[in-house]
Amino acid sequence: MELKYINTQSFVDSSFFVKLSQLKLDVLKLDQSSRLIYGYYNYKRLAPGQAPAINLNDISFASDQELESQLPARSAFIVSGEITNVNTLEEFKSQSKLEFLTRVGGKLIDSIKNKAALQDPRLLAQFAVFSFADLKKYKFYYWFAFPALHSEWQITSEGPLNGDVPDLQFSLVRDGKPVPLTQLHTIPTDSLLHVAFVDTSAVPDAYSYVLRNFLTMLAIWARNWPTSVL
């Protein structure tokens, strides 16, 4: 059976734009270099049929630890991204969306090739925001980029992971327990490789787009193992 995916939605709290305005006036000024930000995906208490959704607020400009401290324990996955805020509406409108997405996708591919995503699987869900803040009219223009890679997979079997939900969205499974992806090299290539994925989509028969990136990484670094996804 062919895998089906659903794209993520974005929910940006008004406090995000208040903080962006403050940064534009006091810190960024004319600086258009990219800045690290964080968002989060809820994975508990998803309503039936709910699509995956990234959430951003004013704490998105702080550290990932500070953002996590504002959320209920073990309820969301924190992901990193970047925001590029330009100085004029003309610059915003003239930016090629394809060029922007290609650049963001290149960073994702690099994080897989250099194994950074094995060390920090959150990089598989990295995102980017391109924006313009019209502070005179208090209007904000922005795009989100969610790079998604492609590899060929078919479902032959699937099943739930017993026990507690893993702390990470992506992990290996050894002896029925989730372990970090960094332990990949310790698993014999003649054994079945079990991996766990915690979905942030509640849409029937459709997985969050980010599973594409996880499977592509497995196609590169785990191609010597027969693989089972839980």
- Pick the closest to residue 55 from 101, 16, 7, 108 (CA basis): 16
CA dist., res. 186 & res. 166, Å (int)? 20
Q: What is the pLDDT of residue 226?
A: 55
Beta strands in 57-213 (DSSP E): 76-86, 127-134, 139-145, 170-174, 177-179, 193-197, 207-208
pLDDT in tens, 114-144: 999 999 999 999 999 999 999 999 999 999 9
Structure-token match 């670094």, residue found: 221
CA dist., res. 57 & res. 39, Å (int)? 8
Give Dmax (Cα) for the chain. Answer: 63
Cα dihedral 129, 132, 135, 136, rounded to 10, equals -160
CA dist., res. 221 & res. 184, Å (int)? 9
pLDDT in tens, 17-51: 999 999 999 999 999 999 999 999 999 889 999 99
Mean pLDDT by 10 residues, the chain (230 residues): 89 97 94 96 91 97 96 94 97 96 96 95 97 95 95 72 78 87 84 87 94 92 65
50 C-beta neighbours (distance < 10 Å), count: 14
Domains and CATH numbers, the chain: 5-145 (3.40.140.70), 170-229 (no CATH)
Q: Which two tokens stand for residue 99?
A: 């060029």
CA dist., res. 50 & res. 13, Å (int)? 19
Q: What is the pLDDT of residue 227?
A: 63
Question: What residue type is assigned to position 170 of the chain?
Answer: F
- Pick the closest to residue 187 from 213, 229, 159, 222 (CA basis): 222
- Pick the closest to residue 43 from 196, 222, 191, 151 (CA basis): 196
Question: Is this structure's pTM higher than 0.75?
Answer: yes
